Amino acid sequence: MAGKDMLTDLIGKGEELSRRQEFQGIDPRQARRHRAKELLATIAKRKKEGLYLYRPLPISAKFHRCGSRIRVLDGSNQSGKTLTAEVEVARAVMGLDAKFPRHNGRALIVGYDGDHLADPMFRTLTEPGAYSIIRDEHTKQWRSVRVDPKDPRKLDPYDAAYREKWQESEPLLPPRMITGMSWESRKDRIPRNITLATGWQMLWRSSKGKPVRGRQFHLWHFDEEVNNDEFLVEARRGSMRRGALGFWSATPQTGGMQLYNLRRRADAGSHNVKAFTLLLADNPFYPEQEKQAFIDGLSREEAEVRVFGKYAIVGR
């Protein structure tokens, strides 16, 4: 959470603590000590939250800064696309991104199917481990595992040398922000609707189901190629009234025309559509031997798509 937003939130928490019944009628100095202790504990906890410690890769940082009507985030497998996209979602619904309304927005989240909504999308957003953290060698404070400032394709030398000290990050969307939840399948961890403390609503839908009709959105997000072309049509229809921003993250494996056409528009210089490509080679968080083992198991055609981010439809 940005420092200013955290301070505002914690001032409110301090006022709330002051009104608590357990502090009424006791020595004011003792009450202040109790409040200070609880606020310090809250600050320490917030400073370890997923969004607070997140630091993007260079291409991801450009994606986050971009305010185009539609953004395409494509590239290879295991390049950081889903993390980047879910960070963007979390920033929006927590009211931390100036591109979106701070309160009472509505987001449409679409995955290929229910399993994909559950994992990786919902898991990346709401569970620990979206990325790795480590205690700084100087300050001893938690921070994200970082890249080498001299070469962003490599890890910081200290972090690379002490992988055994890495821990999982806290969730990008902390539980304290979720005030309402309904499930498509609770057993399978497939969400349906989520309400946030900011008043934002999130509608989670499988592209194998029926498109959401008649709703207005402030944000839409597709992850991987969708099964039903009407979802994009309805997302764009629902964007007109409020000028919603949409983004689509995918490895273009199956040859969907909609994603490909958006990419072509971006490459042609469209003002409304911008594209960003993340590649496995640019992700320093996987050991090089693991990357190579993955590549060695692919055919040349598979590597073109899964490693180099080429669109499968181009080769057909």
pLDDT class of 197 with cuts at 50, 70, 90:
very high
Lowest-confidence pick of 12-26, 130-144, 296-310: 12-26
Q: What integer is the mean pLDDT of 36-60? A: 91
Q: What integer is the mean pLDDT of 296-304? A: 96
Helix axes 28-46, 3-18, angle to 10 degrees: 150
pLDDT at 250: 96
pLDDT at 22: 53
Residue 5 predicted with pLDDT over 80? no
Mean pLDDT of the chain: 92
pLDDT (tens digit, 9 = 90+) per residue, 162-186? Answer: 999 999 999 999 999 999 999 999 9
pLDDT at 292: 97
pLDDT at 313: 82
pLDDT at 1: 44
Q: Which positions ≥6 away from 173 have C-beta within 8 Å?
A: 50, 89, 90, 93, 94, 125, 126
For the whole model, what pTM was predicted?
0.89
* H or E element, residue 144: strand 142-144
**d(Cα 12, Cα 14) in Å, to the nearest integer?**
5
pLDDT (tens digit, 9 = 90+) per residue, 267-284? Answer: 999 999 999 999 999 999
Q: What integer is the mean pLDDT of 26-32? A: 76
Determine the 3-state secondary structure of 161 from DSSP.
helix
* HEC sequence for 247-298: EEEECCCCCCHHHHHHHHHHHCCCCCEEEEEECHHHCCCCCHHHHHHHHHCC
Residue 16 predicted with pLDDT over 80? no
Closest CA to 203 of 185, 188, 220, 189: 220
pLDDT at 9: 64
**d(Cα 218, Cα 199) in Å, to the nearest integer?**
13
Q: Which positions ≥6 away from 109 have C-beta within 8 Å?
A: 89, 117, 121, 202, 203, 204, 205, 220, 221, 223
Percent of the chain with pLDDT over 70: 91
**d(Cα 94, Cα 63) in Å, to the nearest integer?**
18
Q: What integer is the mean pLDDT of 1-30? A: 58
Overall residue count recorded for the chain in this entry: 316
pLDDT (tens digit, 9 = 90+) per residue, 97-134? Answer: 999 999 999 999 999 999 999 999 999 999 999 999 99
pLDDT class of 32 with cuts at 50, 70, 90:
confident
**d(Cα 227, Cα 259) in Å, to the nearest integer?**
12
pLDDT (tens digit, 9 = 90+) per residue, 218-245? Answer: 999 999 989 999 999 999 999 999 999 9
What structural domains does the chain harbor? 3-46 (no CATH), 58-130+172-315 (3.40.50.300), 132-168 (no CATH)
Check if the beta carbon of residue 158 is closer than 8 Å to that of residue 112. no
